[in-house]
Amino acid sequence: GDSVTQMEGPVTLSEEAFLTINCTYTATGYPSLFWYVQYPGEGLQLLLKATKADDKGSNKGFEATYRKETTSFHLEKGSVQVSDSAVYFCALSPLAGKSTFGDGTTLTVKP
Amino acid sequence: DTEVTQTPKHLVMGMTNKKSLKCEQHMGHRAMYWYKQKAKKPPELMFVYSYEKLSINESVPSRFSPECPNSSLLNLHLHALQPEDSALYLCASSPAVLGSEKLFFGSGTQLSVL
């Protein structure tokens, strides 16, 4: 079946540091890939998505590129802020079927 | 309106109580979902409704009973819950079930079962 593996957390960074959160997936066919973010006490919000190989999703300074050859969708941001502290979930959605989520990575950014 | 609204935000109930969680969206989405999320874990799918009909039940115990009265509303009826059912319950919607659609989540109901 489909699966998503995220790098283990938690991740702690200083403000303005570079962020990478690794995500790899296993799926049949050509799923869409997503990053969701969850702030404390809230539901998940879509951060960015990519629907086919080599697509780059971007939003609020975050980027991720759909790499079919390495089955990866790593999340990056050049300069993190304290307000980016949250839990980040990588997910995939096949053409027909339910979404599969990674275990989540907790990011803490210190001033 | 791009919101999914869930009520109540917090709920404390005893094991003999009956309560309901409510979810509403006005985006014209035809797929609605219930997820259960334990602390520091990813959401786990419970139920999926497509065009107001139950299409997926992830072997959820019968003490959880979903209902979709119309295309904008989704309820989750709770009865005789156990303490291990304490969790954040998230409602989500998407334009359709088929297709690689993103999910729009509500803020959730934090449920505590005593």
Percentage of chain B lying above the pLDDT 90 cut: 82
Going by pLDDT thresholds of 50, 70 and 90, the confidence category of residue B1 is: low
Length of chain A, please? 111
Quick check: A95 and B98 CB within 8 A? yes
Percentage of chain B lying above the pLDDT 70 cut: 95
The region of weakest confidence among A6-10, A15-19, B56-60 is: A6-10
Calpha distance B5→B26 (Å, rounded): 9
Q: Given CB atoms, is A96 within the 8 Å cutoff of chain B?
A: yes
Chain B residues lying within 8 Å of A32, measured CB to CB:
100-102
What integer best gives the mean pLDDT of chain B? 92
The pLDDT tens digits of the residues spanning A51-105 come to 999 999 999 999 999 999 999 999 999 999 999 999 999 999 876 668 899 999 9
Q: Are A101 and A43 in contact (CB under 8 A)?
A: no
Contact residues, A window 42-61, toward B, CB-based 8 Å cutoff = 42-46, 49, 51
User: Which residues contact residue B52 at a Cβ distance below 8 angstroms, ignoring those fewer than 6 apart?
Assistant: B68, B70, B71
The pLDDT tens digits of the residues spanning A10-20 come to 999 999 999 99
What per-residue confidence (pLDDT) applies to A46? 94
What per-residue confidence (pLDDT) applies to A97? 63
The tally of CA atoms less than 13 A away on the side-chain side of residue A78 is: 4
Question: Is the pLDDT score of B97 beyond 80?
Answer: no
What per-residue confidence (pLDDT) applies to A29? 81
Calpha distance A63→A74 (Å, rounded): 8
Contact residues, B window 9-28, toward A, CB-based 8 Å cutoff = none
Q: Which residue has the higher pLDDT, A86 or B96?
A: A86
What per-residue confidence (pLDDT) applies to B99? 61
